[in-house]
Amino acid sequence: MSALFELDNLNVQFDTKRGKLHAVRGVTLHIEAGECLGVVGESGSGKTVMWRAAMGLLRGRKVHRGGSVRLAGRELLPMSAKEVRQFWGTEIAMVFQDPMTALNPVRRIGSQFSESLTKRLGMDKAAAKERVVELLRLVRMPEPEKLVRKYPLQLSGGMRQRVMIAMAIACNPKLLLADEPTTALDVTVQAQVLELLSDLREKLGMGMVIVTHDLGIVAGHSDRIAVLYAGEVVELATTRALFAHTMMPYTEALLNSIPRLDGKRGEALQAIEGAPPDPVAQTSACFFAPRCRYATEKCRTEHPELVDDGTGHWYRCFYPLKARSQ
């Protein structure tokens, strides 16, 4: 049986004035039904481009996609935009970071919401209306009957994000892609939205991908985590293994930069100095080497491959941390 969603050696390149920009480099990942995969990386690591390209949202003359993307065994990359669209909503749905721009500002919530139900599922207007209220209740919106008459502007960021989630799950997708679903939200609302997503996943048996820059967010909500750097997977493991036996210096640095409630005051946070490499420039070195505290001459001349430690814990480093401590 094939996985729910598979990326196989996915490459995404853009033509720019300065040359070819390598946004995603040979990413291989899969998601099983009902599983939650966390995808973690900094701005510019390619985490958003990867999913958009896989979903066929990024295309055109200046976009080059290579490799393979399979949805329940069906090859997506060669399909036209129209062909891919038939899977949206019913098989895959997306929740975006910015719920304000993702909603149509001049249409009431109810009207833009029921459109997907009447068009996609062929419901009649009355049934769609009822279903919208039911879905809004499912995402714990207070007074859903009143809410359908409102415009997106009248809602707070957290409420808009919940409307987005309700719309995404409206056609019972098998996979929900959540791209930075809580980044624009307060900590308290973030906790509510994450909990809602996890509850919905259990209730509806969906597979889910949470894309984020914050390892802290996926720690309590994902089964496995993939860490991305400069368009490559640099560590991939079960959530527990990733935290208990961090292999990549980059992952360790990301963890250390999170401010913690139980941390000491006055102690400087461990920032990752420098910036990710220029995605246009070509290098034969490890991409993280210029920022890595452990980097050696080898790291500056050779590019490490993604290897398995034998337990399904993948990493891309010549000197993995666990081996170092032994």
Partner 1 sequence: MNNNTAMHLRDDSDILLRVENLIVEYTTKTGTVRAVSDISLDIASGETVAVVGESGCGKSTLAKGVMQLIPSVSGKVLLNGTDLASLKGEALRRARPNIQMIFQDSISSLDPHLRVRELVEQPLKVWDRGTDEERRAKVDDLLRSVNLDPAIVGDRKPTEFSGGQCQRISIARALSIEPQLLVCDEPVSSLDVSIQAQILNIIQAMKVRYGLSLLFISHDLAVVRAISDRVYVMYLGKICEVAPPERLASSPAHHYTHALVSAVPIPDPTVGRRRAILEGEPPSPTNPPSGCRFRTRCPAATEKCAAEEPQLREVSPGQFVACHHPRG
Could you list the residues that contact partner 1 (CB under 8 A)?
42-43, 140, 142, 156-159, 186-192, 194-195, 198, 213-217, 219-221, 239-240, 243-244, 253-255, 257-263, 265, 268-273, 275
By C-beta, is 205 or 263 nearer to partner 1? 263
Of 92 and 196, which CB lies nearer to partner 1 in the complex structure?
196
Q: What's the rounded Cα separation, in Å, for the pair 58 and 65?
A: 9
Q: Which residues are within 8 A (CB) of 217 and not within 5 positions of it... i.e. 6 or more apart?
A: 38, 182, 190, 194, 210
- Tell me which residue has tokens 């004035």: 17
Please, which residue, 26 or 157, has the CB nearer to partner 1?
157
Residue 83 Cα to chain centre, angstroms: 23
Q: How far is the CB of 152 from partner 1 (least distance, A)?
A: 16
Residue ranges with strand state E in the chain:
5-16, 19-31, 36-40, 63-71, 74-75, 92-95, 175-179, 207-212, 224-229, 232-238, 307-308, 314-315
Count CA within 13 A, CB hemisphere, residue 269.
Answer: 13
Shortest Cβ distance from residue 220 to partner 1 (Å)?
A: 5
| Nearer CB in complex with partner 1: 111/256 | 256
**Smallest separation, CB 244 to partner 1 (Å):** 8
Give the whole-angstrom CA distance, residue 231 versus residue 211: 14
Q: Which residues pair with 189 in a beta bridge?
A: none
Assign residue 144 a region: left if phi > 0, alpha if psi is -120 to 50, beta otherwise? alpha
Phi-psi category of 230—alpha, beta or left, where left has phi over 0 and alpha has psi -120 to 50? left
- Tokens 């990493």 sit on residue: 315
Q: How far apart are CA 52 and CA 55, in angstroms?
A: 5
130 or 195: whose CB is closer to partner 1? 195
CB of 272 to partner 1, least distance (A): 4
Cβ at position 201, least distance to partner 1 in Å: 12
6 vs 235, beta carbon nearer partner 1: 235
Distance, in Å, from the CA atom of 122 to the CA atom of 109, rounded to the nearest integer, reads 19
Q: How far is the CB of 293 from partner 1 (least distance, A)?
A: 14
CB of 218 to partner 1, least distance (A): 9
Dihedrals phi, psi of 159, to nearest 5 degrees:
-70, -40
Q: What minimum distance in Å lies between the beta carbon of 306 and partner 1? A: 21
Q: Which is nearer to partner 1, 159 or 295 (CB)?
A: 159
Residue 228: strand, helix, or coil: strand
Which one, 151 or 243, has the nearer CB to partner 1? Answer: 243
Q: How far is the CB of 26 from partner 1 (least distance, A)?
A: 23
Cβ atoms within 10 Å, residue 90: 14
Indicate the residue among 48 and 114 with the shorter CB distance to partner 1.
48
